[in-house]
Structure 1
Amino acid sequence: MRVTGVLRLMAVLFTLVTTWLFANAYFNHSGMKSISLRSWLDTGVKPTKAQLLQNKCGNTRSCPSHTFAFKVISGAANVVGPSMCFENVMLLSSVKNNVGRGLNIVLVNGTTGQLLKTAAFDMYSGDIKELLDFLKPINRGTLVLVASYDDPATKLNNEARTLFTELGSSYATKLGFRDNWIFVGGKGLKNKTPFEQYLRNDKETNKYDGWPEVLEMEGCIPKKLE
């Protein structure tokens, strides 16, 4: 088997496993149904290059019909804002003029995929109360997509970090000045989400002068079953 073939197979398996982990975390509480990993295995014909180009959000692989496709990209230093695509719709980007310094957050209905809210919170000179007031009323079953831009942590207090942890984050407690962070979680998760990336601001490894490199993440999120 060629090296490219092996890499493609590994990418598919990684996506399947992370989707399965998110499903377990998202649906593993009373009254919720879960989806079998086996039902996600694709035994059909290998897609053509043209089909790959048509994948939602420009992702490297298509998502099963019972999942949502997403792509989250963090901000680049303090120059280029983050972006979030969900089900082939750009919900947040510099072009849409709805991004800001700090933490950019999108809320989506976990059953229908409907956009609920977008917001940006300045974590350098803003008011942390605005972020807390945004996070506390989030309803169970809501998907939460987060992308950092410039500085995500100066004003972030323990209460806010705990709220993100309850949404499935493993890194909210570690966020520091100008760290990079992207995250997809949900209200009601029992376990940690597999959809999260974190990169520490380190002058020895930073790609930009004072900031780490851009983070990018894509995947398939299981729809919440009613």
Structure 2
Amino acid sequence: MKVTKAEFVISAVVPAQYPEDALPEIALAGRSNVGKSSLINRMISRKNLARTSATPGKTQQLNYYRVNDDLYLVDFPGYGYAKVSKTQRAAFGEMIERYLLSREELKLVLLVVDMRHPPSKDDISMYEWLQHYNRPVCVVATKADKIPKTRRQKHVKIVKETLGFKPYHSFVMFSSELGLGKDELWAIMESHMGTKDHEEEPYPDSENESNEHL
């Protein structure tokens, strides 16, 4: 997708604040400081629309970014940050769960993980939760530029094995610095934008090797 227009629209907490124009929505979930804001900025070719922060856990709402008047990127609060209180973490969880279970406009969830490290317990829990409720999911392994090319496949294998990755889901190796995986991720996102069905049908592994995007 060629992005000609992108804008921040609203920080929403409750459904009454969600946009009502029925555009497809792509949500981004991941732990604090995993690089979701940088990913958004790279995808829309803007430097600072999604503000990155040196303070993990700063995002506390669902941040809506409208792209080309065609879709929304919805940035979730980062999870797993120790300095966020238990009460606040519980509130974040309820807000995210309510959105994921009830939002008809949701077409795909990007589960953003740090490719340099094995996925955390929170990453695994989120992936299992998304599978349980049949939410369409694409795992995006960021910060690939921090890993030598000769070792990237090893890290991908570790990420997939730790998550229990299913081959009928999409997987993209990504670098916000280099733009690696940008076109591939847009293609995946666009392929989900026209569907109204949340569910993904499993495919035989042998028929889906090409969909692992490696």
Calculate the TM-score normalised by the size of structure 2: 0.35
For the pair shown, which has the larger CA radius of gyration, 1 or 2? 1
Higher strand share: 1
Higher helix share: 2
